[in-house]
Amino acid sequence: MKKRSPMPPDTKGMRPESLMMSYGYLPELSEGAVKPPIFQTSTFAFKNAQQAKEAFAEAYGLEEPDPLRPLHLIYSRLNNPDLDIVEHRLNLWDRAEESAVFASGMAAISTSILALVPIGSSVVFARPVYGGTDYLLAIILPEMGTVTREFPAGSEPRLVEGMLEELEAAGTPCKMVFFETPANPTTTLTDIAGMAEVAHRHGALCVVDNTLLGPLYQQPLRHGADLVVYSATKYLGGHSDLVAGVVLGCAELMSRVKLYRTILGSMLDPHSAWLLLRSLETAKLRMTCARKNAEKVAAWLAEHPKISKVYFPGFRPSSFQEEIYQRQCSGPGALISFELANSGEAEAFRVLDSVRLIKLAVSLGGTESLIEHPATMTHADIPAESQRKIGITPAMIRLSVGIEHPADLIADLEQALAYLDEAVAPTVGSAQLASAKEDAP
């Protein structure tokens, strides 16, 4: 499908952070409004029957759209101006031909797999991966007749190639190699270019979940990935007030993904698309601040005597990880995991219950810092034995660093870690406990 040009050519050469303010939107089409309105409508009126005929002919692929003609609007499950504008802007960061926004990150992932992986074939995926994705790949897809196999995040491509050869010999050829990099929550990096080369050699697609670094610090399509997916709830949305997902890639693959999105109804709603447009304007500012904060917090954690290990893309534990980082990343992002020394679940809970500024909550990538326990929260659906194999322990804590002052974040962690010296874990809320201590004579 040919792309329509959403803006005059004088924007050529501008950088994404500049184009996030206006690209894809013409104020004269909306009463001169500087910002796009929320097109809160389910259906759109046609000027005449001929226009309606042309719109449906394009929508059902009966004829090629005219790239110079404005987009035909039919029904918000198919298209909506807010979705169209946000997709044009998302294309810029990853240099993608097309993108599609979804009602959630899981909607983006599941719709893409259903669209591109035939039943009876297979998907190979890396562990650890986001808990919802893991459940989809390990439980739901096999129930539907799709074979899935896992490999450890950070594996060398030759290991995955052996798996693909075995699946071909078994009559269930692999159609997709799927992985997060960095992995959630261990932040292990996987070689995008190497995995893409192996996948393509065996007729499979390479799909990368880039949620943890975002397009600012990693652009998988440039390294050979066929599709890149995001939970836009995280850094792209960035304010913990929307749920959304994104898939980006070449026009050929995206046309099929968008067809399935239309039929499955996994489209993002107009209001959330509008919120995402607002968020994209500050994405670089937010992510840059959070990354700088995370670098300081990670360095402090690495020196703390009660921390045995810090997982952060800025700390590469091997020459292989270092080589991958230098080749495909331009920054470490703002997600840190760490393990408490000589501790388990009880000690981890004590720290989680003791933070004051940092919020105890799942998700990541918001302006506020969030802390959680992967083993019993985001990755609780993975059996304990499997958790250990992929590096998730009862003593592991995951921290999404926000845009607060780094000194305040470090002070909050310091006072929370001090509770490990207490004989009994706090039994009241951390803020109340702190207040009581301060008021004591």
Residue 64 lies in a domain: no
- Of the residues 248, 280, 312, the one at which a domain ends: 280
Say yes or no: 165 and 310 in one domain. no
Distances (CA, A) of 262 to 199, 240, 267, 415: 28, 26, 7, 50
Residue at which a domain ends, from 227, 262, 280: 280
Whether residues 130 and 270 fall in one domain: yes
- List, by residue number, the catalytic residues: 77, 130, 209, 234
438 three-state secondary structure: helix
Residue 432: inside a domain: yes
How many Å apart are CA 157 and CA 193, to the nearest integer? Answer: 9
272 & 294 share domain: no
As for how many domains the chain has, the answer is: 2
Q: Which residue has the tokens 């109804």?
A: 265
pLDDT tens digits in sequence order for the chain, 441 residues long: 334 445 555 677 899 999 999 998 888 888 899 999 999 999 999 999 999 998 988 887 788 777 666 678 999 999 899 999 999 999 999 999 999 999 999 999 999 999 999 999 999 999 999 999 999 999 999 999 999 999 999 999 999 999 999 999 999 999 999 999 999 999 999 999 999 999 999 999 999 999 999 999 999 999 999 999 999 999 999 999 999 999 999 999 999 999 999 999 999 999 999 999 999 999 999 999 999 999 999 999 999 999 999 999 999 888 999 999 999 999 999 999 999 999 999 999 999 999 999 999 999 999 999 999 999 999 998 899 999 999 999 999 999 999 999 999 999 999 999 998 874 444 444 444 344 344 433
What pTM, to 2 d.p., does this model score? 0.90
My answer on whether 21 and 169 are in the same domain is: yes
CA pair distance 435, 422, nearest whole angstrom: 17
Q: Give Rg (Cα) of the chain.
A: 23
Residue 68 lies in a domain: no
Q: Tell me the residue range of the domain where 216 lies.
A: 14-41+76-280
What are the two backbone dihedrals, phi and then psi, of residue 131, each rounded to the nearest 5 degrees?
-55, -40
Q: Are 207 and 245 in contact (CB under 8 A)?
A: no
3-state helix, strand, coil in the chain (%, to 5): 40, 15, 45
Boundary (domain end) residue, out of 256, 280, 304: 280
Q: What CATH number does residue 135 fall under?
A: 3.40.640.10
What is the percent of the chain with per-residue pLDDT over 70, rounded to a whole number? 93
Round to whole Å and give the CA distance between 183 and 181: 5
Are 428 and 344 part of one and the same domain?
A: yes
**pLDDT one-digit tens code per residue, 394-405:** 999 999 999 999
Give the CB-side neighbour count of residue 384, counting CA atoms within 13 A: 4
Amino acid at 14: M
